[in-house]
Amino acid sequence: MAQILEAITHGLSRVNPTIFTLGPFSVRWYGVAYLLGFVIGYFIIRFLNKRWKMKMSGDDLLTLLLILIVVCIVCARLFYCVFYNPVYYLHNPLDVFKTWDGGMSFHGSIIGGVIALAIASRQLKQPFLRLADLCVVALPVGIFLGRIANFINGELWGRVTKVPRGVVFPAAGPLPRHPSSLYEAALEGLVLFIIMMALALRKRLWPRGFIAGMMMTIYGIFRIFCEFFREPDVQLGFLMHTGWLTMGMLLSVPLIIVGVFFIVWALKQGNDPVKPFRLPWQAKPSRKSAFLPAATPGNKADTNNEAKDQKPLK
C-alpha cells in the first residue's frame, strides 16, 4: 500500500498544470477540477432530489447550481484574499481576478454556500436546511478534485519530511515535503464523501440540518488534522508565536462549533413542523404553515412528502 501511495504521489507530481495552450488561451487542471466538481455535484444533487422526493424540477436544479457556482466562487476568492494575503491584494487589487493562479478558500466557499442557499431557498421555495443537506453531500467531490489540482499546480505544499512519499516542490526549495494537499484530498474529499453518502442513503431521512452539521464538523476535524502536515502560508506563518497554530486551524474551529450546533439542534427538533429553522430575515411562521411555505401554484415544495421525512424511502 505504501508503494502504491508513493507511486501515485510521484506520478501526479510530474503532471503539467496546463493541459493545453491555444494562442493566449490556456486550459489548466485547476479550472477543469472546478468544472468537473460542479458537474458531478449536479448529478449527485439530482439523484438525491429524486430519492428524497423534494420535487424540484430540472430548471430548479439548474437555477440552484448557477447560484451556487457564482456566489461560492466569488466568496471563496474574496475570503482567501482578505484572510490569507491581504497586504498583497491591497497593493495589487486587479490580481484578485486571477483565479487561474490558485488561491481559493474553502471556508469562504462555506460562507458563499450559506448565502447562495438562502437565495435559492427563497427563489425555489424549499426549506433552507433541506437544501443545505442536499448540497453538502456533493461538496466533498469538489474538495477532492480541487486538492488534486492544488497538488498538480505545485501549491499548498506540506512541511519538510523524510518519508518516501515526500515530494520536492520547485517553489518551496530543494527539500522533500509532505504532499499535504493529497492528504486533504483523501480525508476531506474521498473519506468525507463516503460518510456523507452513507448518511444521505439512509432509509429514513435525517432531521433537517443534521447532514449539513455533520459535514461541517467532520470537515473541520479533518482540516485541523491535515494542517499539522501542511506548511503555513509564508506571509502568515504560524499564528500567535505557537509554532503549530495555522490560519486553517483557526478558521476550522468556528466551523466545528456551528456544525455541532446544527447536529444537536436537528436531533432535538427532529422533524417537528412547529419549530423550523428560520433565517434571520424570515418572519416567524404560524403553527399551520411553520414546516413549509403554504402551497401555491408556483410553490415547488411538497408538504406531504416533507412531513413524511421519517417514513422509509424505497
The full 3-state SS of the chain, as one line of letters, equals: CHHHHHHHHHHHCCCCCEEEEECCEEEEHHHHHHHHHHHHHHHHHHHHHHHCCCCCCHHHHHHHHHHHHHHHHHHHHHHHHHHCCHHHHHHCHHHHHCHHHCCCCHHHHHHHHHHHHHHHHHHHCCCHHHHHHHHHHHHHHHHHHHHHHHHHCCCCCECECCCCCCEECHHHCCCEECCHHHHHHHHHHHHHHHHHHHHHCCCCCCCCCHHHHHHHHHHHHHHHHHHCCECCCCCCCCHHHCCCCCHHHHHHHHHHHHHHHHHHHHHHHCCCCCCCCCCCCCCCCCCCCCCCCCCCCCCCCCHHHHHCCCCCCC
Model pLDDT, residue 276: 53
Classify residue 6: in a domain, yes or no: no
pLDDT category of residue 11 using cuts at 50, 70 and 90: confident
Model pLDDT, residue 282: 57
Over pLDDT 90: what percentage of the chain? 59
Q: What is the pLDDT of residues 85-94, one digit of tens each?
A: 888 898 888 8
Kindly report the number of other CB atoms within 10 A of residue 40's CB atom: 15
Model pLDDT, residue 145: 95
Over pLDDT 70: what percentage of the chain? 84
pLDDT category of residue 314 using cuts at 50, 70 and 90: very low
Mean pLDDT, rounded, for 172-193: 95
Report the C-alpha gap between 212 and 230 in whole angstroms.
26
Classify residue 156: in a domain, yes or no: yes
Report the C-alpha gap between 137 and 304 in whole angstroms.
24
Q: What is the pLDDT of residues 142-164, one digit of tens each?
A: 999 999 999 998 888 999 999 98
Mean pLDDT, rounded, for 103-128: 91
Mean pLDDT, rounded, for 48-71: 95
Burial call 106-129: b when 16+ CB within 10 Å, e when fewer: bbbbbbbbbebbbbbbeebbbbbb
Mean pLDDT, rounded, for 32-59: 94
Average pLDDT value over all residues in the chain: 86
Number of domains, the chain: 1
Looking at the predicted structure, is the pLDDT value of residue 43 above 60? Answer: yes
Model pLDDT, residue 166: 92
Classify residue 16: in a domain, yes or no: no
Model pLDDT, residue 47: 97
Planar angle of CA 281, 282, 283, nearest 5 degrees: 120
Model pLDDT, residue 293: 45
The answer to whether 291 touches 115, Cβ cutoff 8 Å, is no
Model pLDDT, residue 274: 42
Classify residue 8: in a domain, yes or no: no
Q: Please enumerate in sequence order all residues whose Cβ is within 8 A of that of 108, keeping only pairs 6 or more positions apart, or say none.
A: 75, 76, 77, 78, 79, 80, 83
Model pLDDT, residue 294: 42
Classify residue 270: in a domain, yes or no: yes
Model pLDDT, residue 287: 46
Classify residue 50: in a domain, yes or no: yes
Mean pLDDT, rounded, for 277-291: 51
Classify residue 88: in a domain, yes or no: yes
Model pLDDT, residue 291: 40
Classify residue 7: in a domain, yes or no: no
Q: What is the pLDDT of residues 27-37, one digit of tens each?
A: 888 889 989 99
- Provide the domain limits for residue 91: 26-291+300-307
The answer to whether 37 touches 146, Cβ cutoff 8 Å, is yes
What nine digits make up the cell of 196? Answer: 456523507
Kindly report the number of other CB atoms within 10 A of residue 240's CB atom: 8
